[in-house]
């Protein structure tokens, strides 16, 4: 429901700078989130990297421990072989070579102990016993057995048994182990300790001559049967020999670090790493790259220390979780970007939502305020009527229309106050949910002013408020009046209030219909006021208007109620007289009109007579429709005018023919200019005192190809009606100026030539320019041209006329006032016009000889001209009597058949030539020569 609201807050502009900080805040928040996420990512990445590193190290240590343990076990197993063999010999001191061989073969050395070249027994031999030992060996099948080297110490330890029986092992038989210091040291350690003893890395005797391969020999002392010596002395005393196992390091180590171990490389050094010059063994070729992980372990067996260096291989890293840190970093970065973008999008979306909500709210407020403003300022009366028909609210326009204060209206029962029962019914219908529109001639509530109103009742239902009815009240009184006025203007003449052409047509149509039904006649009377143009032109339009109103009143007063008087325009009136029985009834109406208008009119303090020319046509005799009837009456009217005015005529067939002829003339005139059918004749003006030619008047003529010569009085009115008079006038002006030029050139003409200027030509504002152009175009002075205008032309718009005449005068032209005395011009205006000459109309000259009329007007005009310093020319002088009278009146000059008819230029030229040459009397031009 409409109600007052506070002014609307302006909506926040999307480009409002206030919104900018919040947009920046969104960006900063997202950036903060991004930085935090990146920090977390870096932390997680570093933690994962550290864990992965720890994990790799643990795994490496474990792996190293495992491999090292395996190596230790492996070596112990190898050492154990020497122990087992020693145990065999201890258990069976008489063991034979063959049994030794079988025992060793049973160990399966090549499969189970790769690197052990054999298991041998070297026996302690006194030098004295050496030959027997050798002989026994040879007897045992070793045919080439010999003890070597030859030089030996007091005690020898001779290699007696060596299995498996291979060529290499056989070659080592007979070798005195003590002959070589490294072996001897190891043997002595084994003897003294009772524990396995090993040599340092050496090259085996059996390998001598072959490619070097590092090896070592494990010795296990064997003591005399059944003895368990406890001290070194006892051991030395009980010592019978040693079991030795030569072991090649590479195969042995390969069994542990062979191709199956790909993740870790192992390098064996003898002794401590710091002391080692070169490695005994490498499981992998050395790599130029630094290993990621490395560890060193020592291994002790016999009396030896070896160091093993373990290094992680590139493959090791793959097995660790080293992929985790980059993954964590990648995921972290992605999540950071995603989360910060998401946060930015969410905050931006939220901000935008808030902005939109703000805008919508502002827009709603604005709309509410606009509605409120509309309600209060609307020119349309708006009221809200509740379900109980009481007025809930109304706007000032409604209160104005009702004519009561707004506060006093609210709460009133609209139905009770409605004056029109239809309005009360409409309110009921609207309360019932119906949309109602009605027009009333009073207002909704009592107390209002009377006018035409439209009331539109529109039921309204809203979700929030109870239903109500909106009443829109519009005062259409003005509109109605305007419509009536438009209707009036469309059908009535604004000046006289009489029916116009449209309504007249309608009335004629209705009358004709009626006449057809009852067999009666309808008369149409076309009335034209004689000489009204003169009245209008000379006394002014407002005067003319008043005359027309007076005529209208008289026409209306004199007719029956059933008759219709209308105005067609200008001074043309029409009377429609229905239900006539014969033509004489129409004649009676015409007579009545003549009578009505016969008494003088008094307008503006002046009294004068207006005579009508009336044309009559009858339905159904002359035409069947309004247009035809009016046309016929018009023709008849022209006939009445031609017949002497102040008369009426019934239309006849002959009249129709003449009318058609006039139409033909109009069409022919349009072509006349192009076809060169117009031409000009010139009539001289003569000074009365000495018969001197003092001027020439140019007069237009039309030679029709069929009709022959047509005079201007016949075709100029048609030219004026059709507007052709403008182009005819232009043509005449130029033609005359050209002729003046020719006369000047031929005969030295020095008198002015007068040109008639029509009213239309004078008023169109172009005349001074056209005259100037024609003069300039022919190299003429202004004074060589005289402009002839009628009184009526000037009186129409005096200030404009004065200005045009002044412009012509400035160019040097002479001005003559034509037909002077025929109009009703106020002589008081005359002095305002810059004119040079007055021309007395020929009707006054004609009247000079008429009995009873006299010379009063020519005399007055001559007197007026003299007092104003103007020359006076009398027109239409045909007789010597007229000339004498004019002379006696001291009229200056004359123009007329008496001296010369208007003649072609070439005919006039000799007359003018004489005048120019002699300055004396020209010869009179014969009357017969004039057209
Ligand atoms: N009965 C009689 N008549 C005489 C005598 N002497 C001259 N007239 C005629 O009197 C008229 C004088 O011209 P207006 O008064 O200017 O009256 C002129 C003038 O108003 C108009 N007119 C003629 N030529 C032109 C023209 O080129 N332009 C315009 N706008 N009007 C013209 O037509 C009117 C009639 O011209 P016109 O027929 O040529 O008639 C001429 C002329 O032939 C005479 O002794 N007895």
Q: What is the pLDDT of residues 216-244, one digit of tens each?
A: 999 999 998 766 788 999 999 999 999 99
Position 64 in a domain: no
Say yes or no: 822 and 683 in one domain.
yes
Q: Which of 108-117, 470-479, 750-759, 840-849 tops mean pLDDT?
A: 750-759
| Domain span holding position 704 | 676-918
How far is residue 400's CA from residue 232's CA, in Å, rounded to a whole number? 146
Q: How far is the CA of 778 from the centre of ligand 1 (A)?
A: 25
Say yes or no: 620 and 722 in one domain.
no
Mean pLDDT of 196-207: 86
How far is residue 928's CA from residue 931's CA, in Å, rounded to a whole number? 8
Say yes or no: 473 and 500 in one domain.
no
Ligand 1 pocket by Cβ (under 6 Å): 683, 699-700, 711-713, 716, 729, 732, 756-758, 818-819, 842, 875-878, 895-897, 902
Position 705 in a domain: yes
Find the helix or strand (DSSP H, E) in which 390 lies.
none
Position 808 in a domain: yes
Residue 877 token pair: 């002088």
Residue 924 has pLDDT above 50, yes or no: no
CA 600 to the chain's CA centroid: 73
Q: How far is the CA of 712 from the centre of ligand 1 (A)?
A: 7
Q: Which of 15-29, 328-342, 345-359, 772-786 tops mean pLDDT?
A: 772-786
Query: What digits encode the pLDDT tens for the residues 831-884?
Result: 888 999 999 999 889 888 876 667 888 998 999 899 889 999 999 999 999 999
Q: How far is the CA of 699 from the centre of ligand 1 (A)?
A: 6
**Pairwise pLDDT comparison (577 vs 335), residue with the higher score:** 577
Q: How far is the CA of 752 from the centre of ligand 1 (A)?
A: 17
Residue 371 has pLDDT above 60, yes or no: yes
Identify the domain boundary among 222, 257, 292: 257
Q: How far is the CA of 711 from the centre of ligand 1 (A)?
A: 9
Q: Which of 209-223, 311-325, 650-664, 866-880 tops mean pLDDT?
A: 866-880
For atom 6 of ligand 1, which residue has the closest CA?
896
Q: What is the DSSP letter of 213?
A: -
Where do we find the tokens 């005349």?
767
Residue 2 has pLDDT above 70, yes or no: no
Q: What is the mean pLDDT of the chain?
A: 86
Residue 312 has pLDDT above 80, yes or no: yes
Which atom, in ligand 1's list, is nearest to the CA of 878?
45
Q: What is the DSSP letter of 11?
A: P
Which atom, in ligand 1's list, is nearest to the CA of 725?
30
Say yes or no: 449 and 585 in one domain.
no
Say yes or no: 901 and 789 in one domain.
yes
User: Residue 220 is part of a domain; what is its CATH number?
Assistant: 3.30.450.350
Residue 471 token pair: 């009443």
Position 311 in a domain: no
Taking the alpha carbons at both ends of the chain, their separation in whole angstroms is 92
Please give the pLDDT value at position 473.
86
Cβ density class 32-41: b for 16+ within 10 Å, e for less = ebbeebbeeb
Say yes or no: 744 and 892 in one domain.
yes
Which atom, in ligand 1's list, is nearest to the CA of 841?
15
The preferred substitution site among 681, 709, 712, 840 for testing ligand 1, maximizing ligand atoms within 8 Å of CB, is 712
Position 12 in a domain: no
Q: How far is the CA of 851 from the centre of ligand 1 (A)?
A: 25
How far is residue 411's CA from residue 405's CA, in Å, rounded to a whole number? 12
User: Residue 531 is part of a domain; what is its CATH number?
Assistant: 3.30.70.270
The preferred substitution site among 534, 686, 699 for testing ligand 1, maximizing ligand atoms within 8 Å of CB, is 699
Identify the domain boundary among 442, 458, 481: 481
Q: Around Cβ 149, how many Cβ atoms within 10 Å?
A: 10
Q: Which of 51-55, 154-158, 288-292 tops mean pLDDT?
A: 154-158
**Among 57-61, 318-322, 360-364, which stretch is predicted with the lowest mean pLDDT?**
318-322
Position 193 in a domain: yes
User: Residue 710 is part of a domain; what is its CATH number?
Assistant: 3.20.20.450
Name the percent of the chain lying above pLDDT 90: 44
Say yes or no: 155 and 219 in one domain.
yes
Q: Can you tell me the ipTM of this complex?
A: 0.95
Mean pLDDT of 107-115: 89
Say yes or no: 432 and 520 in one domain.
no
Domain count, the chain: 4
Band of pLDDT at residue 445, cut at 50, 70 and 90: low
Please give the pLDDT value at position 918.
55
For atom 39 of ligand 1, which residue has the closest CA?
699
Query: What digits encode the pLDDT tens for the residues 456-491?
Result: 999 998 887 889 999 998 888 788 888 888 888 889
Residue 345 has pLDDT above 90, yes or no: no
For atom 31 of ligand 1, which residue has the closest CA?
756
Q: What are the φ/ψ torsions at residue 419 (nearest 5 degrees)?
A: -80, -35
Q: How far is the CA of 831 from the centre of ligand 1 (A)?
A: 26
For atom 36 of ligand 1, which residue has the closest CA?
712
Say yes or no: 643 and 690 in one domain.
no
Residues 515/518/520/523 CA torsion (nearest 10 deg): -20
Please give the pLDDT value at position 11.
42
DSSP H helices, 833-879, are 842-848, 856-868
Mean pLDDT of 306-333: 80
For atom 33 of ligand 1, which residue has the closest CA?
712
Q: How far is the CA of 909 from the centre of ligand 1 (A)?
A: 20
Residue 4 has pLDDT above 60, yes or no: no
Q: How far is the CA of 733 from the centre of ligand 1 (A)?
A: 16
The preferred substitution site among 719, 875, 903 for testing ligand 1, maximizing ligand atoms within 8 Å of CB, is 875
Please give the pLDDT value at position 120.
93
Residue 610 has pLDDT above 90, yes or no: no
For atom 41 of ligand 1, which residue has the closest CA?
699
Mean pLDDT of 143-158: 86
Say yes or no: 108 and 235 in one domain.
yes
Say yes or no: 449 and 520 in one domain.
no
Please give the pLDDT value at position 13.
47
Q: How far is the CA of 182 from the centre of ligand 1 (A)?
A: 174
Residue 930 has pLDDT above 70, yes or no: no
Identify the domain boundary among 481, 503, 535: 481
Q: Which of 257-261, 512-516, 555-559 tops mean pLDDT?
A: 512-516
Please give the pLDDT value at position 699.
98
What does pTM read for this prediction?
A: 0.43
Mean pLDDT of 183-202: 91
Q: How far is the CA of 849 from the centre of ligand 1 (A)?
A: 21
Residue 315 has pLDDT above 70, yes or no: no
Position 848 in a domain: yes
Residue 764 has pLDDT above 80, yes or no: yes
Please give the pLDDT value at position 587.
94
Band of pLDDT at residue 301, cut at 50, 70 and 90: confident
Residues paired with 243 in a beta bridge: 121, 220
Please give the pLDDT value at position 734.
97
Say yes or no: 528 and 458 in one domain.
no
Please give the pLDDT value at position 29.
79
CA distance to 12, 23, 347, 350, per residue, from 26 (Å): 18, 5, 6, 10
Q: How far is the CA of 877 from the centre of ligand 1 (A)?
A: 12
Please give the pLDDT value at position 931.
42
How far is residue 471's CA from residue 437's CA, in Å, rounded to a whole number? 10
Mean pLDDT of 329-353: 86
Position 102 in a domain: yes
């Amino acid at each position: 429901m409409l109600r007052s609201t506070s002014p609307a807050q302006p909506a926040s502009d999307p480009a409002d700078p206030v919104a900018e900080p919040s947009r920046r805040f969104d960006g900063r928040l997202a950036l903060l989130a991004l930085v935090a996420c990146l920090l977390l990512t870096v932390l997680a990445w570093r933690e994962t990297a550290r864990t992965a590193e720890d994990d790799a190290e643990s795994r490496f240590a474990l792996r190293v421990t495992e491999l090292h343990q395996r190596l230790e076990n492996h070596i112990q197993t190898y050492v154990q072989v020497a122990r087992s063999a020693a145990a065999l010999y201890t258990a069976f001191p008489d063991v034979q070579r063959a049994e030794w061989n079988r025992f060793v073969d049973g160990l399966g050395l090549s499969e189970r102990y790769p690197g052990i070249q054999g298991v041998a027994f070297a026996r302690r031999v006194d030098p004295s016993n050496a030959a027997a030992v050798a002989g026994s060996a040879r007897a045992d099948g070793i045919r080439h057995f010999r003890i070597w080297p030859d030089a030996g110490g007091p005690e020898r330890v001779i290699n007696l048994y060596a299995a498996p029986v291979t060529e290499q092992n056989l070659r080592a038989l007979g070798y005195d182990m003590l002959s070589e210091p490294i072996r001897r040291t190891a043997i002595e350690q084994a003897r003294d300790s009772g524990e396995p003893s090993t040599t340092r890395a050496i090259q085996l005797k059996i390998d001598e001559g072959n490619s070097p391969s590092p090896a070592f020999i494990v010795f296990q002392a064997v003591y005399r049967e059944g003895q368990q010596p406890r001290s070194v002395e006892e051991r030395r005393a009980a010592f019978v020999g040693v079991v030795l196992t030569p072991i090649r390091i590479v195969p042995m180590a390969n069994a542990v670090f062979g191709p199956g171990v790909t993740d870790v490389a192992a390098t064996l050094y003898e002794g401590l790493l710091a002391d080692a010059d070169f490695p005994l063994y490498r499981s992998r070729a050395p790599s130029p790259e630094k290993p990621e992980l490395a560890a060193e372990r020592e291994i002790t067996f016999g009396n030896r220390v070896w160091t093993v260096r373990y290094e992680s291989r590139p493959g090791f890293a793959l097995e660790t979780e080293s992929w985790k840190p980059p993954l964590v970093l990648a995921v972290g970065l992605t999540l950071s970007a995603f989360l910060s973008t998401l946060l930015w999008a969410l905050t931006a979306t939220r901000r935008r939502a808030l902005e939109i909500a703000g805008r919508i709210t502002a827009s709603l407020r604005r709309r509410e305020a606009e509605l409120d403003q509309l309600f209060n300022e609307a020119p349309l009366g708006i009221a809200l009527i509740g379900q109980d028909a009481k007025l809930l609210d109304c706007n000032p326009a409604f209160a104005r229309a009702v004519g009561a204060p707004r506060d006093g209206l609210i709460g009133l029962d609209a139905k009770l106050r409605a004056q029109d029962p239809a309005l009360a019914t409409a309110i009921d219908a609207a309360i019932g949910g119906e949309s109602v529109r009605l027009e009333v001639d009073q207002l909704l509530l009592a107390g209002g002013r009377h006018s035409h109103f439209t009331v539109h009742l529109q039921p309204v239902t809203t979700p929030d408020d109870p239903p109500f009815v909106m009443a829109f009240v519009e005062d259409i009184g003005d509109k109605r009046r305007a419509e009536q006025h438009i209707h009036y203007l469309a059908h009535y003449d604004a000046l006289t209030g009489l029916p116009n052409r449209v309504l007249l047509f309608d009335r004629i149509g209705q009358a004709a219909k009626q006449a057809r039904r009852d067999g009666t006649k309808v008369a149409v009377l076309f009335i034209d006021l004689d000489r009204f143009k003169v009245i209008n032109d000379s006394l002014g339009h407002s005067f003319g208007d008043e005359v027309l109103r007076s005529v209208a009143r008289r026409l209306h007063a004199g007719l029956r109620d059933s008759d219709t008087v209308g105005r067609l325009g200008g001074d043309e009136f029409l009377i429609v007289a229905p239900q006539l029985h014969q033509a004489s009834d129409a004649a009676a109406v015409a007579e009545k009109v003549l009578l009505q208008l016969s008494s003088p009119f008094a307008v503006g303090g002046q009294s004068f007579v207006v005579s009508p020319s009336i044309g009559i046509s009858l339905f159904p005799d002359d035409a069947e429709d309004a247009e035809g009837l009016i046309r016929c009456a018009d023709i008849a009217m022209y006939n009445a005018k031609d017949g002497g005015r102040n008369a009426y005529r019934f239309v006849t067939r002959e009249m129709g023919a003449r009318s058609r002829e006039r139409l033909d003339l109009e069409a022919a005139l349009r072509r006349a200019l192009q076809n060169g059918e117009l031409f000009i004749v010139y009539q001289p003006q003569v000074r009365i005192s000495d018969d001197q030619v003092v001027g020439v008047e140019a007069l237009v003529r039309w030679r029709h190809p069929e009709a022959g010569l047509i005079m201007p009085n016949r075709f100029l009115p048609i030219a004026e009606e059709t507007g052709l008079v403008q182009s005819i006038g232009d043509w005449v002006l130029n033609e005359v100026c050209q002729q003046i030029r020719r006369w000047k050139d031929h005969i030295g003409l020095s008198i002015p030539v007068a040109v008639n200027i029509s009213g239309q030509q004078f008023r169109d504002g172009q005349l001074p320019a056209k005259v100037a152009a024609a003069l300039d175009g022919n190299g003429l002075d202004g004074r060589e041209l005289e402009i002839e205008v009628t009184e009526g032309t000037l009186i129409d718009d005096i200030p404009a006329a004065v200005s045009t005449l002044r412009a012509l005068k400035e160019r040097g032209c002479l001005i003559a006032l034509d037909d002077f005395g025929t109009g009703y011009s106020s002589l008081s205006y005359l002095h305002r016009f810059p004119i040079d000459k007055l021309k007395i109309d020929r009707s006054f000259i004609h009247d000079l000889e008429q009995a009873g009329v006299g010379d009063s007007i020519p005399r007055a005009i001559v007197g007026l001209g003299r007092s104003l310093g103007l020359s006076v020319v009398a027109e239409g002088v045909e007789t010597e009597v007229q000339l004498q009278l004019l002379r006696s009146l001291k009229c200056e000059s004359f123009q007329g058949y008496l001296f010369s008819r208007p003649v072609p230029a070439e005919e006039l030229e000799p007359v003018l030539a004489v005048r120019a040459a002699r300055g004396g009397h020209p010869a009179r031009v014969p009357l017969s020569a004039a057209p």
